[in-house]
Amino acid sequence: MFEQAKKHAPCIIFIDEIDAVGRQRGAGLGGGNDEREQTLNQLLVEIDGFEGTEGIIVVAATSRPDVLDPALLRPGRFDRQVTVPLPDIRGREQILQVHMRKVPIAPDVDPKVIARGTPGFSGADLANLVNEAALMAARKSKRLVDMHDFEDAKDKVMMGAERKSVVMSDKQRETTAYHESGHAVVAKLLPGTDPVHKVTIIPRGRALGLTMQLPTEDRFNYERQEILCNISILMGGRIAEEVFLNQMTTGAGNDIERATDLARRMVTQWGMSTIGPMVIGEKEEEVFIGREMTKHSNISEQTARTVDGEVRDIIQERYGIARKLIEENRDKVEAMARALLKYETLDAGQVSDIMAGRDPQPPVEGTGNYPSAPGGNVTTTDKSGGQPLPSLNPGEHPV
C-alpha cells in the first residue's frame, strides 16, 4: 500500500478502523509474535520512513481511540486528532433533509420536528430512520411517506420493533400496566423531570413495556437533583406492583440495576454524597488491550462499607419519596393502568389528561403523536426480567 502511495504521490492514504491493527501492544499474555503487532510495527516503520517532501498524508479513523497504541499518537505520526461528535438539532435537521430527497415525502413532514425528537442519533441512524419510514409507508401501499410513518419508524428504532405475536396472559398485562403506570406517574409528579413522551405495554425488543421520556432540549450534563429524580422514577414500577398488586416480579430487575448504578456513580465518580468530591476505586481495564494483568486496589474495607452505606441511603430515600407519591395518587395510577389495558399505548396528551383527572382521548387511527420540542437523551423502562436494553446514545449518560 505504501509503495503504491509513493508511486502516485502526492496522495492521501486513508485507513478505516485503525484499531483493528493499532491496538495497544503488550497485553502480558502470549508471545510477541502476534500478527497484529507485526502489522502495527510495520505501519509505524513506514510512517517514520516518509520524507517531508514526498507529499503523502496518512489519515485514519476509529471509534475506539482509547485502545490505540501510544506509539501511533506520537508527534510525526497521527498527531492531529479530530473528534466527530454526534450532530445537534440543527445538524440532524440538515442530515434528514439530505436523506429525504431520496423518498417521496408528504407535505405534513417537518424535518425540524423529527430532528427535535431524535436525540443522540448519528447520521447513519437518521438514514436508517428515513429508510424505515419509507418501508412502513410501502407496507401500507402509500404513495407518500407521511409524519405518522416517521413516528412509527422512530418508535421502532428507539424502542425496538413491536412484538404483537407475544401472547401475554391477562395477569401479565395487568402487572405490566401497573408497572409502567408507576413510572409515568412518578415522572409526571416530580418537578424538573423530562416530559413523558409515550407509555406502552406492547412488547418491543426485549421489553414487555416501555415508558419513554424526551427532554425539551439537548442535554450535556445533569444536576444532582435530576439524577435523584431519575432514581425515583426507576423505582416507581416496583412500588406500583407492591402497592396495587401486593407482589414483586423480576420485571423491575433492570430498573433496580440502573438505579443502583446511578447511586454508586454519584458516590464514587461524581462526588455527590457526604463522602465529598473524590473518586473512589479505579475503572475496570481490559488486560487484552495492553493493560496490567494484576489489579491494585486503592480502596480500604472501611471506605467500601461507607460507599455501600451511602448507596443504600440514596436508594432508600428515593424509594420512599416515590412510594409516597404513588400512595397519594392511587387514583391516577389506577386510571392510567386501566387506560393502558384498553388502548395499550398512551401518548403525551393522553397521559396529561389522566394526570388532570380527565378521561384520556381515544387514539385516532392513522395519526401519530408529534412532540412539540423533544431532544436530548431517551429514557426507557425495561420489563424484560432484568435484561438491559441496548444503549441508544454513546458515552456515559445518567439515564
- Is residue 203 scored above 70 in pLDDT? yes
Last residue of some domain: 73, 98, 115? 73
What percentage of the chain carries pLDDT values higher than 90? Answer: 27
- For 306, the 3-state DSSP assignment is helix
- Is residue 303 scored above 60 in pLDDT? yes
User: Using CA atoms, how far apart are residues 240 and 243, in angstroms rounded to an integer?
Assistant: 5
How confident is the model over 34-93, as pLDDT tens digits?
677 788 888 888 887 666 657 888 899 988 888 888 888 888 788 888 888 888 888 999
Cis peptide before 398 (omega within 30 of 0): no
Instruction: Write the CATH number for 14.
Output: 3.40.50.300
Task: Kindly report the length of the chain.
Answer: 399
For residue 227, what are the CA distances in angstroms to 192, 293, 319, 326, 397? 11, 34, 13, 19, 10
- Is residue 388 scored above 70 in pLDDT? no
Answer yes or no: is 155 within a domain: yes
Domain co-membership, 31 together with 136: no
Domain co-membership, 18 together with 110: no
Last residue of some domain: 111, 134, 159? 159
Which three cell numbers, joined as nine digits, stand for 245?
Answer: 398488586
Q: What is the pLDDT confidence band of residue 222, given thresholds at 50, 70 and 90?
A: confident
What percentage of the chain carries pLDDT values higher than 70? Answer: 83
180 is catalytic: yes
What per-residue confidence (pLDDT) applies to 263?
A: 94
Last residue of some domain: 159, 194, 217? 159
What per-residue confidence (pLDDT) applies to 283?
A: 60
203 in Cβ contact with 168 (< 8 Å):
yes
Q: How many CA atoms lie within 13 A of 361 on its CB side?
A: 10
Alpha-carbon Rg for the chain, nearest whole angstrom, is 25
Domain co-membership, 330 together with 281: yes
Answer yes or no: is 390 within a domain: no
211 in Cβ contact with 183 (< 8 Å):
yes
User: How many structural domains compose the chain?
Assistant: 3
Which three cell numbers, joined as nine digits, stand for 289?
Answer: 488491550
Residues in Cβ contact with 87 at an 8 Å cutoff, skipping those fewer than 6 apart: 94, 95, 121, 122, 123
- For 61, the 3-state DSSP assignment is strand
Domain co-membership, 94 together with 134: yes
For residue 312, what are the CA distances in angstroms to 27, 252, 266, 304? 37, 17, 12, 12
Answer yes or no: is 377 within a domain: no
* 111-120, 216-225, 311-320: segment of lowest average pLDDT: 216-225
Domain co-membership, 329 together with 211: yes
- For 60, the 3-state DSSP assignment is strand
Domain co-membership, 141 together with 282: no
Answer yes or no: is 131 within a domain: yes
Domain co-membership, 188 together with 322: yes
Domain co-membership, 231 together with 178: yes
Instruction: Write the CATH number for 98.
Output: 1.10.8.60
Among 207, 205, 213, 261, smallest CA distance to 233 is for 213
What per-residue confidence (pLDDT) applies to 324?
A: 93
Check residue 68 and report its DSSP letter. B
Domain co-membership, 350 together with 306: yes
Domain co-membership, 332 together with 304: yes
Q: Which of 37, 151, 180, 241 is catalytic?
A: 180
**What average pLDDT does the structure give for the chain?**
80
Answer yes or no: is 238 within a domain: yes
- Is residue 385 scored above 50 in pLDDT? no
For the chain, the first-to-last Cα distance in angstroms comes to 45
- Is residue 33 scored above 80 in pLDDT? no
- Is residue 119 scored above 90 in pLDDT? no
- For 293, the 3-state DSSP assignment is coil
Q: What is the DSSP string of 182-235?
A: HHHHHHHHSTTPPPEEEEE-S-BTTBS-EEEE--BS--S---HHHHHHHHHHHH
- Is residue 171 scored above 60 in pLDDT? yes
Q: What is the DSSP string of 79-103?
A: ------PPP-HHHHHHHHHHHHTTS
Q: 3-state secondary structure string, 134-193?
A: HHHHHHCCCCCECHHHHHHHHHHHHHCCECCCCCCCHHHHHHHHHHHHHHHHHHHHCCCC
How confident is the model over 319-378, as pLDDT tens digits?
999 999 999 999 999 999 999 988 888 888 888 888 888 888 877 654 444 333 333 333
Which residue is it, cell 503523502? 56
Domain co-membership, 100 together with 239: no
What per-residue confidence (pLDDT) applies to 296?
A: 55
Which residue range forms the structural domain that includes residue 278? 170-355
Domain co-membership, 190 together with 239: yes
SS3 helix, strand, coil % of the chain, rounded to 5? 50, 10, 45
Answer yes or no: is 80 within a domain: no
